[in-house]
């Protein structure tokens, strides 16, 4: 594989010395403890991770240990703290047919036992072969079967390199062993008998997918088989991971694309495994890589592996921070593909029935049911994250919230729509379950959004019921539209990472260059997005009046992106282009240059600039609408083509300087006033014409005002919206 795998574009210039100093000064401890990468001590390679009885185990090849004769295992209960369990299998001492060149173990649990498959040098034939040993615990002791399980002859000589075993047990109980590669670059599959140490009479099959070199690993998700494998040369930076899919565990395969490849800092990622946390749509990829272009220093890393809404695998951005702790019994997380502020269709699992308001009613208290998908607004819901991490679902047709009648916690309580009142009855915890479905739990209860009797009939009632894990409580979320709320507060997350667009140290200085950093929830990572009269957007740093800007309005690739005082020119205007998969590209006005992360790195503190649109993940951003701090009008309005908030106040709380963003829902006169806590008029800010959907900003300098809580009153075309301004000095 050529070095083109490194990056779609050349390594570009370093930031200036001043900026580098600023970045160094702004380095912080990550807000959440993570595993870090690498995760194992020493030089390890070819890792397979498994989850047995609440504990994670990694079985690697230990580089340079007794000429490859000894195999170690590592264990962890939380994915972050790993213990070397010592030598769990030793060639020569525990085998009679092989003494060295042991690598790439694969372990599977069945029949109350643990089966340890491994590659080793067959002394009798002078070729690599695959053996199997059996133990009663995940770390042995293992008793070898006494002879090779697989050899070139037992593979009908499809491959002479009988290496890299991987065992998969399908839902029907049939076990398969996949292996082979390198020089011959062929993948072979054989069926195993239920005893897991002998082969069926079925002939070996060549099922080699596109671009295959070695190290197969199979997972099954939502009825689809994903064959992932290494490509390139294991000893240089061409090494990478790709995948293909099928409706059968033995192919034929449809090529899917790249999963992992070298970047500007980390090289040769490959020979991996993929582990699903039981019951959740939560996957981890464990792989080896090296940082100095020397394969002899291979180390093991772990990162999240994410499936896109269409079932494809999202390319993994290698990280230095790894993953968050994940203990046995943990609740399933929210899928990173769920976009806050997105308009969704919710489909009951295994049916064509969607979450629907009866007869498209706009009346508070109207019943919610399931109904055949007909594409109407009564079956579309705006899903928005709240300050407490729960979600609110607003019906597009009515602006009414998904609500449990009388805030009941009883099983069988009816689910309806009701006026958005910010109560717990309208708040839902959403967990990403196996197969890409969601479970919605009523806040503070164990009651799940449920179709009565798991009916598949149109009109079946939707209720809450005790969480019991069945399909009646599983929902698929399909993104129908990604509206941008003018005046909304957004978090911008780089695709494939947890890194957000950020102002270093939350600076308010004009000219501060932007970077990416781990999401920590502060205002340095929050942006107010405002639709301007020309159809482009302005991104204003929430904590300042500084706008996202290309320095000097440059049209050059690599030009610095910074914050700067709002001056209304094209350097501060951006086009937002939703791509239909939950991500957007953000394009500088008057150019085809995109907001871009340097070299597509995932490292906290990596610079963000503009670059030629090349379609890769470095230029893809998820725009999540964050909790609003002002306004009482629902985000989803009746029959509105675009969801808008009529009044937005930022920053809030403020030390004095504040901006009011007014976006009328109807054309007419706009009046904006500020009152103190006793209801006295303090400032009349505006009395002007307003156009529906058109945002206007009104600045206020309140530095001389008394600290306290003020009420903001917006009157627009006969509609009144109230907000709150908090001043602190």
Per-residue pLDDT tens over the stretch 42-54:
999 999 999 999 9
The answer to whether residue 10 scores a pLDDT higher than 80 is no
- Among 471-480, 610-619, 697-706, name the one with the lowest average pLDDT: 697-706
pLDDT at 628: 63
pLDDT of residue 3: 25
**How many CA atoms lie within 13 Å of 86's alpha carbon, on the beta-carbon side?**
2
Decide if pLDDT at 32 tops 50: no
Q: Kind of pairing, strands 55-62 and 70-76?
A: antiparallel
CATH of domain 32-305: 2.115.10.20
Closest alpha carbon to 604 in 517, 684, 692, 480? 517
Taking only the tens place, the pLDDT of each residue in 267-316 is 999 999 999 999 999 999 999 999 887 888 999 999 999 999 889 999 99
Mean pLDDT of 460-464: 98
Alpha helices in 325-452, H assignment, sequence order? none
Does 27 have pLDDT greater than 80? no
Is residue 289 within 8 A of residue 39, CB to CB? The reply is: no
Residue 69 per-residue DSSP state: T
Is 125 a residue whose pLDDT tops 70? yes
Q: Report pLDDT for 693.
A: 81
Q: Are 313 and 303 in contact (CB under 8 A)?
A: no
pLDDT in tens, 378-414: 999 999 999 888 999 999 999 999 999 999 999 999 9
Assess contact for 46 and 68: CB atoms under 8 A. Answer: no
In this prediction, residue 147 carries a pLDDT of 95
Residue 220 contacts residue 226 (beta carbons within 8 Å): yes
673 DSSP β-pair partners? 684, 713
The predicted structure's pLDDT at residue 575: 97
Helix (H, G, I), strand (E, B) or coil at 436: helix
In this predicted structure, which of 230-244, 378-392, 638-652 has the lowest mean pLDDT? 638-652
- Residue 502 CB contacts under 8 Å (≥ 6 apart), including other chains: 514, 515, 516, 517, 524, 525
Instruction: Enter the CATH code of domain 488-625.
Output: 2.80.10.50
Residue 320 has pLDDT above 90, yes or no: yes
CB 147, CB 97: distance < 8 Å: yes
pLDDT of residue 64: 56
% of residues, the chain, pLDDT over 70: 92
Rounding to the nearest 10 degrees, give the CA dihedral for residues 93, 73, 267, 166: 80
Which pLDDT score is estimated for 661?
87
Asked whether the predicted pLDDT for residue 630 surpasses 50, the reply is no
Whole-number average pLDDT of the chain: 89
For the annotated catalytic residues, the residue numbers are 46, 214
Using pLDDT thresholds of 50, 70 and 90, give the confidence band for residue 690: confident
Lowest mean pLDDT among 132-136, 452-456, 505-509: 505-509
Q: Is the pLDDT of residue 230 over 90?
A: yes
pLDDT beyond 90 at 665:
no
Query: Where do the CATH 2.60.40.1930 domains begin and end in the chain?
Result: 647-727
| Residue 12 confidence (pLDDT) above 80 | no
Nearest to 36 by CA among 87, 78, 91, 95: 78
What kind of architecture, by CATH, is found in domain 342-481?
Answer: Trefoil (2.80)
The Cα 318–Cα 1 span in angstroms is 19
Mean pLDDT of 342-350: 95
Nearest 10 degrees: Cα torsion 418, 401, 413, 367:
60
Which of the four pLDDT bands, split at 50, 70 and 90, describes residue 644? Answer: low
- Cβ–Cβ < 8 Å for 651, 45: no
Taking only the tens place, the pLDDT of each residue in 516-565 is: 999 988 889 999 999 998 899 999 998 888 999 999 999 999 999 999 99
Residue located via tokens 């109980």: 173
- Which CATH superfamily includes the segment(s) 647-727? Macroglobulin (MG2) domain (2.60.40.1930)
Domain with CATH 2.115.10.20 in the chain: 32-305
| SS3 (DSSP) at 118 | strand
Residues of the chain with CATH 2.80.10.50: 342-481, 488-625
Order across the sheet with 283-290: list the strands: 267-276, 283-290, 299-305
Give the confidence band of 7 by pLDDT, cuts at 50, 70, 90: very low
Distance (Å, whole) CA 177 – CA 164: 10
Cα dist from 487 to 481, 645, 649, 661, whole Å: 18, 7, 8, 6
pLDDT number for residue 636: 33
Give Dmax over CA atoms of the chain in angstroms: 96
Q: Which residues on neighbouring strands pair with residue 220, listed in sequence order?
A: 225
pLDDT at 67: 67
Q: Is 263 helix (H, G, I), strand (E, B) or coil?
A: coil
Q: Is the pLDDT of residue 472 over 70?
A: yes
């Amino acid at each position: 594989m050529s070095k083109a795998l490194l990056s779609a574009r050349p390594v570009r210039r370093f930031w200036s010395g001043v900026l580098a100093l600023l970045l160094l000064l702004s380095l912080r401890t990550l807000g959440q403890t993570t595993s870090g990468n690498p995760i194992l001590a020493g030089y390890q390679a070819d890792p397979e991770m498994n989850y047995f009885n609440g504990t994670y185990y990694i079985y690697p090849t230990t580089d340079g240990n007794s000429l490859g004769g000894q195999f170690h295992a590592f264990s962890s209960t939380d994915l972050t703290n790993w213990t070397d369990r010592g030598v769990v299998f030793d060639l020569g001492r525990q085998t009679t047919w092989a003494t060295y060149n042991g690598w790439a173990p694969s372990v599977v649990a069945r029949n109350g036992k643990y089966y340890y498959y491994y590659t080793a040098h067959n002394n009798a034939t002078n070729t690599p072969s695959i053996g199997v040993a059996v133990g009663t615990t995940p770390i042995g002791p293992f008793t070898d079967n006494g002879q090779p399980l697989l050899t070139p002859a037992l593979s009908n000589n499809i491959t002479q390199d009988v290496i890299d075993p991987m065992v998969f047990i399908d839902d029907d109980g049939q076990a398969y062993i996949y292996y082979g590669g390198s020089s011959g670059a062929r993948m072979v599959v054989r069926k195993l008998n239920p005893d897991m140490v002998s082969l069926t009479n079925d002939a070996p099959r060549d099922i080699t997918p596109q671009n295959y070199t070695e190290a197969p690993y199979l997972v099954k998700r939502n009825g689809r088989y994903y064959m992932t494998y290494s490509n390139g040369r294991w000893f240089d930076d061409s090494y990478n991971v790709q995948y293909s899919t099928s409706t059968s565990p033995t192919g034929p395969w449809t090529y899917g694309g790249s999963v992992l490849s070298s970047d500007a800092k980390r090289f040769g990622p490959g020979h991996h495994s993929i582990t699903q946390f039981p019951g959740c749509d939560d996957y981890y990829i464990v792989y080896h890589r090296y940082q100095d272009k020397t394969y002899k220093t291979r180390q093991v890393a772990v990162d999240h592996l994410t499936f896109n809404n269409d079932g494809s695998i999202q390319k993994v951005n290698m990280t230095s921070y790894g993953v968050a702790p994940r203990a046995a019994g943990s609740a399933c997380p929210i899928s990173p593909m769920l976009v806050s502020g997105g308009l969704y269709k919710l489909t009951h699992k295994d049916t064509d029935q969607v979450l629907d308001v009866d007869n498209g009613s706009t009346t508070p208290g109207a019943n919610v049911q399931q109904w055949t998908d007909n594409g109407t607004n009564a079956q579309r819901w705006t899903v928005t994250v709240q300050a407490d991490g729960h979600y609110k679902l607003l019906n597009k047709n009515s602006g009414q919230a998904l609500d449990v009648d009388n805030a009941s916690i009883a099983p069988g309580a009816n689910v309806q729509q009701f006026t958005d009142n910010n109560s717990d009855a309208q708040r839902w915890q959403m967990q990403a379950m196996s197969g890409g479905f969601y479970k919605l739990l009523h806040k503070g209860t164990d009651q799940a959004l449920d179709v009565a009797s798991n009916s598949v009939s149109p009109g079946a009632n939707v209720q809450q019921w005790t969480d019991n894990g069945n399909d009646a409580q599983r929902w698929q979320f399909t993104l129908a539209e990604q509206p941008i709320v003018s005046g909304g507060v957004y978090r911008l997350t780089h695709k494939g990472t947890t890194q957000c667009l950020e102002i270093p140290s939350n600076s308010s200085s004009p000219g501060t260059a932007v970077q990416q950093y781990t999401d920590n929830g502060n205002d340095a990572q929050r942006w107010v997005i405002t639709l301007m009269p020309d159809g482009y957007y302005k991104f204003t740093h929430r904590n300042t009046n500084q706008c996202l800007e290309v320095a000097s309005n440059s049209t050059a690739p690599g030009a610095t992106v910074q914050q700067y005082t709002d001056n209304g020119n094209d350097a501060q205007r951006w086009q937002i282009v939703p791509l239909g998969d939950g991500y957007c590209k953000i394009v500088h006005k008057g150019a085809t240059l995109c907001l871009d992360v340097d070299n597509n790195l995932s490292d906290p503190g990596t610079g963000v600039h503009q670059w030629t649109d090349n379609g890769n993940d470095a230029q893809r951003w998820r725009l999540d609408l964050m909790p609003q701090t002002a306004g009482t009008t629902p985000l989803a309005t009746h029959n509105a083509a675009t969801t808008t908030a009529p009044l937005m106040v930022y920053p809030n709380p403020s030390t004095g300087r504040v901006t009011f963003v007014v976006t009328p829902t109807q054309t007419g006169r706009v009046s904006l006033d500020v009152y103190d806590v006793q209801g006295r008029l303090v400032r009349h800010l505006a009395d002007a014409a307003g156009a529906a959907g058109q945002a206007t900003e009104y600045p206020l300098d309140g530095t001389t005002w008394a600290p306290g809580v003020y009420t903001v009153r917006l009157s627009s075309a006969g509609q009144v919206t109230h907000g709150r301004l908090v001043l602190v000095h």
